Amino acid sequence: MDADGGSSRGADQHSGPESPKQAGGLFLQGTKAFILNSTIANNSAPYAAAVNEYSNNAAGSLDFVNVTLFGNSATTVNTALEIGDDISGTFLNSTIAGNTGGIGSGAGIKLTDTIIAKNGTTNCSKSHPAGSGNIQYPSGGTACTAGVIYEDPKLGPLQDNGGLAHTMTMATAAGSATLYAGHTCPSADQRGISRPVEGCTSGAYEYVSAENLKPPAGLRLMH
């Protein structure tokens, strides 16, 4: 990540030891950050266990595309992300799940086709501008966006679910409300698996049924 704002692609961020003050994963102050096809997991800090982005004498922005945040633990203020309300950006097809807290503030961040689930007692402290296909679970507390879908996304554990990128993702199961819920879909998921233009799976992982993985009829496989 460039200190003046840049991009991060295909990274798995695992911190391990607790950060001494804040932002166990990424501490971004007044940066313009774009994070693509990445996992930020298992970090610990008093607050902002995964990412802290506030303006610091400069306007900042924070954009996620196909990003997974899991297992980030805040020990004082339970948030995985602490984001200033003046920070702009979009979280597109990302999964924020299984952290001790969800998104703190960040009222300027638009959520689209994103899963926010099982993040302690608070998934979102404020409501965010809404795109389509957002899934929040459980219900109760602040709605992460207007029109959010309150359903269990049926996420699997954080693991290597294949694909050329071999990043760590959380697979969705058959029957999940995330299936076909997305309408503003990137061309591929976090693993590099193709997504449909319309009706993709919400979150960073694109569900592909076993039937779709079968070779076309009549195709002879070489052994």
What pLDDT sits at residue 57? 75
Q: Could you give the count of Cα atoms lying within 13 Å of 159 in the half-sphere of its Cβ? A: 7
Q: What is the pLDDT of residues 97-127, one digit of tens each?
A: 999 999 999 999 999 999 999 999 899 999 9
pTM over 0.85: yes
Q: Is residue 220 part of a domain?
A: no
Element (H, E) at 28: strand 26-29
Q: What is the mean pLDDT of the chain?
A: 87
Q: Could you give the count of Cα atoms lying within 13 Å of 23 in the half-sphere of its Cβ? A: 10
Q: Is residue 1 part of a domain?
A: no
Q: Is residue 214 part of a domain?
A: no
Q: Is residue 54 part of a domain?
A: yes
Domain of 112 in residue numbering reads as 7-207
Q: Is residue 90 part of a domain?
A: yes
Taking the C-alpha atoms of residue 156 and residue 15, their distance in angstroms, rounded to an integer, is 22
What pLDDT sits at residue 11? 58
Q: Is residue 14 part of a domain?
A: yes
What pLDDT sits at residue 214? 41
Taking the C-alpha atoms of residue 144 and residue 134, their distance in angstroms, rounded to an integer, is 8
Q: Is residue 186 part of a domain?
A: yes
Q: Is residue 136 part of a domain?
A: yes
Taking the C-alpha atoms of residue 174 and residue 17, their distance in angstroms, rounded to an integer, is 36
What total of structural domains would you count in the chain?
1
Query: Phi and psi (nearest 5°) for 23?
Result: 60, 80
